[in-house]
Amino acid sequence: MTVPQPQTLQLNGVEIVDTFAEAFPIKAARLIITADSVRWANTAATVMCGNATSVIACDVEAAIERQLAIDETPDGRPGVSVLVFGFSVDGLGKALQSRVGQCILTCPTTACYNGIFDCPKEKQIRIGGGIRYFGDGFQVAKKFDNRRYWRIPTMDGEFVCEDYFGTITGVAGGNLLFCGTNSSVTLRAAEAAVDAIGTGTDVALPFPGGIVRSGSKVGSRYPKLKASTNDAYCPTLRGLTQTELPDQCHAVYEIVIDGLSFDAVQSAMKRGLHAAAGCPGILRITAGNYGGKLGKHHFHLKDLL
Protein backbone atom coordinates (compact mmCIF):
# COMPACT_ATOMS: atom_id res chain seq x y z
CA MET A 1 0.00 0.00 0.00
CA THR A 2 1.39 3.39 -1.00
CA VAL A 3 0.81 6.40 1.23
CA PRO A 4 0.24 9.92 -0.17
CA GLN A 5 3.47 11.87 -0.61
CA PRO A 6 4.16 15.46 0.39
CA GLN A 7 4.51 18.05 -2.35
CA THR A 8 7.59 17.42 -4.48
CA LEU A 9 10.18 19.69 -6.05
CA GLN A 10 12.70 19.00 -8.81
CA LEU A 11 16.49 19.14 -9.13
CA ASN A 12 18.20 17.82 -12.26
CA GLY A 13 15.02 15.87 -13.01
CA VAL A 14 15.12 14.17 -9.59
CA GLU A 15 12.10 14.39 -7.32
CA ILE A 16 12.92 16.27 -4.10
CA VAL A 17 10.30 15.71 -1.43
CA ASP A 18 9.19 18.89 0.32
CA THR A 19 10.02 17.63 3.80
CA PHE A 20 12.68 18.16 6.46
CA ALA A 21 15.41 16.31 8.30
CA GLU A 22 15.06 16.52 12.06
CA ALA A 23 18.14 16.86 14.26
CA PHE A 24 18.85 17.44 17.93
CA PRO A 25 21.49 19.12 20.13
CA ILE A 26 24.47 17.01 21.18
CA LYS A 27 27.82 17.57 22.88
CA ALA A 28 30.84 17.55 20.60
CA ALA A 29 34.63 17.40 20.86
CA ARG A 30 37.40 17.55 18.28
CA LEU A 31 40.56 15.45 18.60
CA ILE A 32 43.72 16.17 16.64
CA ILE A 33 45.65 12.91 16.20
CA THR A 34 49.20 13.11 14.86
CA ALA A 35 51.85 10.52 14.06
CA ASP A 36 55.16 10.11 12.24
CA SER A 37 53.24 9.25 9.07
CA VAL A 38 49.81 9.67 7.53
CA ARG A 39 49.40 5.88 7.71
CA TRP A 40 49.59 5.74 11.50
CA ALA A 41 47.56 8.89 12.11
CA ASN A 42 44.79 7.42 9.96
CA THR A 43 45.09 4.04 11.64
CA ALA A 44 44.64 5.53 15.12
CA ALA A 45 41.72 7.68 13.99
CA THR A 46 39.98 4.82 12.21
CA VAL A 47 40.28 2.44 15.16
CA MET A 48 39.16 5.11 17.63
CA CYS A 49 36.02 5.69 15.54
CA GLY A 50 35.09 2.01 15.63
CA ASN A 51 31.64 1.05 16.94
CA ALA A 52 30.62 4.72 17.01
CA THR A 53 27.88 4.92 14.39
CA SER A 54 24.82 5.78 16.47
CA VAL A 55 24.16 6.80 20.07
CA ILE A 56 21.15 4.49 19.90
CA ALA A 57 23.54 1.66 20.79
CA CYS A 58 27.04 3.21 21.02
CA ASP A 59 28.66 5.39 23.69
CA VAL A 60 29.45 8.09 21.09
CA GLU A 61 29.13 8.90 17.41
CA ALA A 62 32.49 9.63 15.78
CA ALA A 63 34.13 10.01 12.39
CA ILE A 64 37.16 11.53 10.71
CA GLU A 65 36.51 15.15 9.83
CA ARG A 66 39.51 15.69 7.54
CA GLN A 67 43.21 15.16 6.98
CA LEU A 68 45.56 17.83 8.37
CA ALA A 69 48.73 19.17 6.81
CA ILE A 70 51.88 19.43 8.92
CA ASP A 71 51.42 23.19 9.30
CA GLU A 72 47.98 22.61 10.85
CA THR A 73 49.05 20.34 13.71
CA PRO A 74 50.53 21.29 17.11
CA ASP A 75 53.68 19.20 16.63
CA GLY A 76 54.28 19.72 12.90
CA ARG A 77 53.53 16.11 11.95
CA PRO A 78 50.87 14.58 9.69
CA GLY A 79 47.50 14.56 11.40
CA VAL A 80 43.82 13.76 11.33
CA SER A 81 40.92 15.68 12.83
CA VAL A 82 38.20 13.56 14.44
CA LEU A 83 34.80 14.78 15.64
CA VAL A 84 33.11 12.92 18.49
CA PHE A 85 29.54 13.40 19.73
CA GLY A 86 27.77 12.28 22.92
CA PHE A 87 24.65 13.05 24.91
CA SER A 88 26.46 14.68 27.85
CA VAL A 89 29.83 16.23 28.70
CA ASP A 90 30.45 13.57 31.36
CA GLY A 91 29.51 10.74 29.01
CA LEU A 92 31.72 12.16 26.30
CA GLY A 93 34.63 12.39 28.73
CA LYS A 94 34.32 8.80 29.90
CA ALA A 95 34.03 7.47 26.36
CA LEU A 96 37.02 9.44 25.12
CA GLN A 97 39.27 8.46 28.00
CA SER A 98 38.57 4.85 27.12
CA ARG A 99 38.91 5.27 23.35
CA VAL A 100 42.06 7.40 23.50
CA GLY A 101 43.64 5.00 25.99
CA GLN A 102 42.74 1.90 24.03
CA CYS A 103 43.10 3.10 20.43
CA ILE A 104 45.49 6.07 20.24
CA LEU A 105 47.91 5.47 23.12
CA THR A 106 48.42 1.94 21.78
CA CYS A 107 49.09 3.02 18.19
CA PRO A 108 52.72 3.55 17.08
CA THR A 109 54.15 7.12 17.19
CA THR A 110 50.86 8.91 17.89
CA ALA A 111 49.98 11.99 19.95
CA CYS A 112 46.58 13.50 20.75
CA TYR A 113 45.62 17.18 21.08
CA ASN A 114 42.54 19.28 21.77
CA GLY A 115 40.84 20.86 18.75
CA ILE A 116 38.19 23.08 20.38
CA PHE A 117 39.38 26.19 22.19
CA ASP A 118 37.96 29.06 24.27
CA CYS A 119 35.82 26.57 26.16
CA PRO A 120 34.72 27.31 29.76
CA LYS A 121 36.28 25.04 32.37
CA GLU A 122 32.97 23.43 33.27
CA LYS A 123 32.52 22.31 29.65
CA GLN A 124 35.98 20.76 29.33
CA ILE A 125 36.70 17.06 29.61
CA ARG A 126 39.89 15.56 30.96
CA ILE A 127 41.59 13.01 28.73
CA GLY A 128 45.37 13.15 29.19
CA GLY A 129 44.96 13.57 32.92
CA GLY A 130 42.64 10.59 33.01
CA ILE A 131 44.93 8.13 31.24
CA ARG A 132 48.23 9.40 32.69
CA TYR A 133 48.24 6.69 35.36
CA PHE A 134 49.22 4.16 32.71
CA GLY A 135 52.67 5.74 33.08
CA ASP A 136 52.89 4.06 36.51
CA GLY A 137 54.44 7.12 38.13
CA PHE A 138 56.89 7.84 35.31
CA GLN A 139 54.47 10.18 33.50
CA VAL A 140 55.45 13.86 33.33
CA ALA A 141 53.29 16.97 32.85
CA LYS A 142 54.49 19.94 30.81
CA LYS A 143 52.72 23.26 30.35
CA PHE A 144 53.00 25.50 27.28
CA ASP A 145 50.89 28.63 26.65
CA ASN A 146 48.50 27.67 29.47
CA ARG A 147 47.93 24.21 27.94
CA ARG A 148 49.06 21.16 29.92
CA TYR A 149 50.31 18.02 28.21
CA TRP A 150 51.04 14.61 29.69
CA ARG A 151 54.05 12.63 28.48
CA ILE A 152 53.43 8.93 29.07
CA PRO A 153 56.41 6.59 28.48
CA THR A 154 55.89 3.87 25.89
CA MET A 155 58.08 1.25 24.27
CA ASP A 156 58.78 3.47 21.24
CA GLY A 157 59.38 6.66 23.25
CA GLU A 158 56.44 8.53 24.75
CA PHE A 159 52.78 9.30 24.10
CA VAL A 160 51.91 13.00 24.36
CA CYS A 161 48.29 13.78 25.18
CA GLU A 162 46.76 17.11 26.08
CA ASP A 163 45.22 17.26 29.55
CA TYR A 164 41.87 18.98 28.88
CA PHE A 165 39.74 19.02 25.73
CA GLY A 166 37.01 21.55 24.95
CA THR A 167 33.42 20.68 24.08
CA ILE A 168 30.60 22.59 22.43
CA THR A 169 26.93 21.90 21.73
CA GLY A 170 26.64 20.60 18.21
CA VAL A 171 23.89 19.15 16.04
CA ALA A 172 23.25 15.46 15.39
CA GLY A 173 20.94 13.74 12.95
CA GLY A 174 20.93 15.73 9.74
CA ASN A 175 20.08 13.22 7.04
CA LEU A 176 19.29 12.53 3.40
CA LEU A 177 17.64 9.47 1.85
CA PHE A 178 18.44 8.54 -1.75
CA CYS A 179 15.93 6.35 -3.59
CA GLY A 180 17.25 4.73 -6.77
CA THR A 181 16.47 2.14 -9.38
CA ASN A 182 18.97 -0.40 -8.03
CA SER A 183 21.63 -0.72 -5.34
CA SER A 184 24.56 -0.06 -7.70
CA VAL A 185 23.42 3.33 -9.01
CA THR A 186 22.05 4.37 -5.62
CA LEU A 187 25.31 3.54 -3.91
CA ARG A 188 27.26 5.55 -6.48
CA ALA A 189 25.02 8.54 -5.78
CA ALA A 190 25.48 8.16 -2.04
CA GLU A 191 29.25 7.95 -2.56
CA ALA A 192 29.14 11.15 -4.60
CA ALA A 193 27.25 12.83 -1.77
CA VAL A 194 29.82 11.64 0.77
CA ASP A 195 32.66 12.99 -1.35
CA ALA A 196 30.92 16.37 -1.71
CA ILE A 197 30.22 16.60 2.01
CA GLY A 198 33.87 15.80 2.70
CA THR A 199 35.00 18.99 0.96
CA GLY A 200 33.73 21.02 3.94
CA THR A 201 34.63 21.21 7.62
CA ASP A 202 32.91 20.98 11.01
CA VAL A 203 30.87 17.90 10.04
CA ALA A 204 31.28 14.15 10.38
CA LEU A 205 29.51 11.12 8.89
CA PRO A 206 29.56 8.44 11.61
CA PHE A 207 28.28 5.44 9.65
CA PRO A 208 30.58 3.10 7.67
CA GLY A 209 32.03 5.08 4.78
CA GLY A 210 29.44 7.73 5.62
CA ILE A 211 26.54 5.62 4.31
CA VAL A 212 23.68 3.78 6.06
CA ARG A 213 22.00 0.74 4.55
CA SER A 214 19.99 -0.09 7.69
CA GLY A 215 17.93 3.04 8.21
CA SER A 216 15.90 2.87 11.41
CA LYS A 217 12.66 4.11 12.87
CA VAL A 218 11.96 4.82 16.54
CA GLY A 219 10.51 1.85 18.45
CA SER A 220 9.79 -1.76 17.58
CA ARG A 221 7.21 -4.48 18.01
CA TYR A 222 9.81 -5.94 20.39
CA PRO A 223 9.58 -3.82 23.58
CA LYS A 224 13.29 -4.06 24.45
CA LEU A 225 14.39 -2.39 21.21
CA LYS A 226 14.68 1.41 20.98
CA ALA A 227 14.79 1.31 17.18
CA SER A 228 14.10 -1.10 14.34
CA THR A 229 14.32 -1.33 10.56
CA ASN A 230 12.69 1.51 8.64
CA ASP A 231 10.23 -0.79 6.87
CA ALA A 232 8.68 2.04 4.84
CA TYR A 233 11.98 2.29 2.94
CA CYS A 234 12.75 -1.43 2.58
CA PRO A 235 12.13 -2.53 -1.04
CA THR A 236 11.57 -6.17 -0.08
CA LEU A 237 8.68 -5.13 2.18
CA ARG A 238 6.76 -3.29 -0.50
CA GLY A 239 3.21 -4.66 -0.33
CA LEU A 240 3.64 -5.79 3.28
CA THR A 241 3.81 -2.34 4.87
CA GLN A 242 2.99 1.29 4.11
CA THR A 243 5.78 2.05 1.68
CA GLU A 244 7.37 5.43 1.02
CA LEU A 245 9.13 4.19 -2.11
CA PRO A 246 8.46 5.55 -5.59
CA ASP A 247 7.70 3.19 -8.44
CA GLN A 248 10.78 1.43 -9.86
CA CYS A 249 12.76 2.06 -6.65
CA HIS A 250 14.69 -1.00 -5.53
CA ALA A 251 17.33 0.50 -3.23
CA VAL A 252 17.65 3.25 -0.64
CA TYR A 253 20.76 4.58 1.05
CA GLU A 254 20.87 7.16 3.82
CA ILE A 255 23.49 9.64 4.95
CA VAL A 256 23.50 10.87 8.56
CA ILE A 257 25.37 14.08 9.32
CA ASP A 258 26.61 15.38 12.69
CA GLY A 259 28.17 18.80 12.94
CA LEU A 260 29.43 21.56 15.18
CA SER A 261 26.67 23.99 14.12
CA PHE A 262 23.34 24.22 12.31
CA ASP A 263 24.98 26.05 9.40
CA ALA A 264 27.67 23.40 9.02
CA VAL A 265 25.11 20.59 8.81
CA GLN A 266 22.84 22.52 6.46
CA SER A 267 25.75 23.32 4.13
CA ALA A 268 26.83 19.68 4.13
CA MET A 269 23.29 18.52 3.31
CA LYS A 270 23.15 20.97 0.40
CA ARG A 271 26.43 19.69 -1.04
CA GLY A 272 25.30 16.09 -0.64
CA LEU A 273 21.86 16.65 -2.15
CA HIS A 274 23.18 18.43 -5.24
CA ALA A 275 25.90 15.82 -5.80
CA ALA A 276 23.46 12.90 -5.59
CA ALA A 277 20.84 14.60 -7.75
CA GLY A 278 23.38 14.77 -10.56
CA CYS A 279 23.76 10.98 -10.67
CA PRO A 280 21.79 8.74 -13.06
CA GLY A 281 19.27 6.30 -11.60
CA ILE A 282 18.17 8.44 -8.65
CA LEU A 283 14.39 8.76 -8.54
CA ARG A 284 13.76 10.63 -5.30
CA ILE A 285 15.64 12.37 -2.50
CA THR A 286 13.92 12.80 0.83
CA ALA A 287 14.74 13.04 4.54
CA GLY A 288 13.68 11.48 7.81
CA ASN A 289 11.86 13.22 10.63
CA TYR A 290 9.55 12.45 13.51
CA GLY A 291 7.02 15.21 13.01
CA GLY A 292 9.20 17.70 14.83
CA LYS A 293 9.01 15.81 18.13
CA LEU A 294 12.61 14.55 18.27
CA GLY A 295 14.74 17.66 17.93
CA LYS A 296 14.56 21.42 17.53
CA HIS A 297 16.73 21.58 14.40
CA HIS A 298 14.76 21.21 11.15
CA PHE A 299 16.55 21.15 7.79
CA HIS A 300 14.01 21.73 5.03
CA LEU A 301 15.06 20.29 1.69
CA LYS A 302 13.44 23.14 -0.22
CA ASP A 303 15.94 25.48 1.45
CA LEU A 304 18.81 23.45 -0.04
CA LEU A 305 17.75 23.94 -3.66
The whole-angstrom separation of Cα 269 and Cα 143 is: 40
Q: Are 228 and 145 in contact (CB under 8 A)?
A: no
The whole-angstrom separation of Cα 230 and Cα 216 is: 4
Among 67, 76, 16, 8, which Cα is nearest to 201's? 67
Residue 152 sits in the same domain as residue 246 = no
Residue 154 sits in the same domain as residue 205 = no
Contacts 24+ apart (CB under 8 A), 200-203: 200/264, 200/267, 200/268, 200/271, 201/65, 201/66, 201/264, 202/65, 202/83, 202/259, 202/260, 202/261, 202/264, 203/65, 203/83, 203/257, 203/258, 203/259, 203/260, 203/264, 203/265, 203/268
pLDDT at 2 over 80: no
User: Of the residues 166, 183, 209, which one is the last residue of a structural domain?
Assistant: 166
Residue 217 sits in the same domain as residue 110 = no
Residue 130 sits in the same domain as residue 218 = no
pLDDT at 3 over 80: no
Q: Are 155 and 125 in contact (CB under 8 A)?
A: no
In the chain, the percentage of residues whose pLDDT exceeds 70 is 97
Residue 85 sits in the same domain as residue 133 = yes
Q: Does some domain include residue 195? A: yes
Residue 146 burial (10 A CB sphere; 0-12, 13-18, 19+): exposed
Q: Does some domain include residue 3? A: no
> Which CATH number covers residue 206?
3.30.70.520
pLDDT at 122 over 80: yes
Q: Does some domain include residue 214? A: yes
pLDDT at 32 over 60: yes
Q: What contacts 263, CB < 8 A, 6 or more positions away?
A: none
User: Of the residues 166, 185, 212, which one is the last residue of a structural domain?
Assistant: 166
Residue 30 sits in the same domain as residue 161 = yes
User: Of the residues 151, 166, 181, which one is the last residue of a structural domain?
Assistant: 166
* pLDDT of res. 295: 87
Residue with the larger pLDDT of the pair 100 and 2: 100
Residue 203 sits in the same domain as residue 218 = yes
What is the mean predicted confidence (pLDDT) over 226-242?
95
Domain range enclosing 39: 25-166
- pLDDT bucket at 293, cuts 50 / 70 / 90: confident
> What rounded mean pLDDT belongs to the chain?
96
Candidate ranges 143-147, 210-214, 293-297; pick with highest mean pLDDT:
210-214
Q: Does some domain include residue 1? A: no
Residue 98 sits in the same domain as residue 130 = yes
Residue 184 sits in the same domain as residue 282 = yes
Residue 54 sits in the same domain as residue 160 = yes
Q: Does some domain include residue 152? A: yes
- pLDDT bucket at 7, cuts 50 / 70 / 90: low
pLDDT at 231 over 60: yes
pLDDT at 135 over 80: yes
pLDDT at 6 over 60: no
Residue 262 sits in the same domain as residue 296 = yes
pLDDT at 5 over 60: no
What is the mean predicted confidence (pLDDT) over 220-248?
95
In the chain, the percentage of residues whose pLDDT exceeds 90 is 94
Q: How many domains does the chain have?
A: 2
Residue 131 sits in the same domain as residue 223 = no
The whole-angstrom separation of Cα 48 and Cα 101 is: 9
**DSSP-assigned states of every residue in 77-116:** S-EEEEEEEESSHHHHHHHHHHHIIIIITTSTT-EEEE--
